[in-house]
Each structure stands twice: as C-alpha cells, then as structure tokens.
Amino acid sequence: MDNTWINIGLFLTYILLAIAFLSFIGFPLIYTIRNFKNAKKGLFGFLIAIVLVFVVYLVSPADQGVLYENFGISPTQSKMIGAGLILTYVLMAGALVYLVFVEIKKWFN
C-alpha cells in the first residue's frame, strides 16, 4: 500500500515538473513572438553572450601536464575549465569597465 502512494506521488511530481518546464520555455517564446520589437534587445544580448562563450572556448588552451593527469582531466575538460576561467575574467573586467564608465558619466551630468 505504501509503494502505491509513493508511485502516485512521483508520477504527479513528474507531471507538475513537465508542466513547469514547458511553461518556463513556452511563455517567454510566446512573448518573444508576439512582441518581437520589444524583445530585440534581450535577444541581442543573448546572442552576444553565446558568441562570447564560443570565442572564449576557441581561445582557451587545452593544457596537459602532471597535475591534469593526476586528476584524470582530459584535454577537452581542460579546455572547458580554461574557457570558464577566461569567461569569468572577461565578464569581471567588463563589469569593472562599466562601473567606472557609469561613475565618470555621473560626474558630467
């Protein structure tokens, strides 16, 4: 009897999770299609983020050495780790430049 209630609970949880996921993906797509003119900035920002991730991945090295071998890190994994680090540095530098720009702009206003 107890297993039946657990199975029903899991089944309902999966259904609700699927509905939540479809809503999470579906509603923004519907908004974007209906209001494409308003959504251009968001799509442009998303496109820039995708391009930045791709460029950083291409630039990052696939290092190999004793440390990598000790932890069982392949060249592909090393490239992804390096891309993550470089992307973090680029985003932090961009945020710092933006903050300085905003503060300088405030002085002239």
Structural domains in the chain (count): 2
In this structure, the answer to whether residues 28 and 58 fall within a common structural domain is: no
In this structure, the answer to whether residues 45 and 28 fall within a common structural domain is: no
In this structure, the answer to whether residues 61 and 91 fall within a common structural domain is: yes
1: pLDDT confidence band, cut at 50, 70 and 90? low
In this structure, the answer to whether residues 46 and 2 fall within a common structural domain is: no
Tell me the helices (H) and strands (E) count for the chain, helix number first. Answer: 4, 0
In this structure, the answer to whether residues 17 and 45 fall within a common structural domain is: no
In this structure, the answer to whether residues 53 and 24 fall within a common structural domain is: no
Q: What is the mean pLDDT of residues 9-28?
A: 94
87: pLDDT confidence band, cut at 50, 70 and 90? very high
- Beta carbons of 87 and 49 less than 8 angstroms apart: no
Q: Structural domain of residue 6, as residue ranges?
A: 1-34
Instruction: Mark 27-57 as b/e (b = at least 16 C-beta within 10 Å).
Output: eeeeeeeeeeeeeeeeeeeeeeeeeeeeebe
- Residues 50-79: tens digit of each pLDDT: 999 999 999 998 888 888 888 888 888 999
User: 106: Cβ–Cβ under 8 A, 6 or more apart, which residues?
Assistant: none
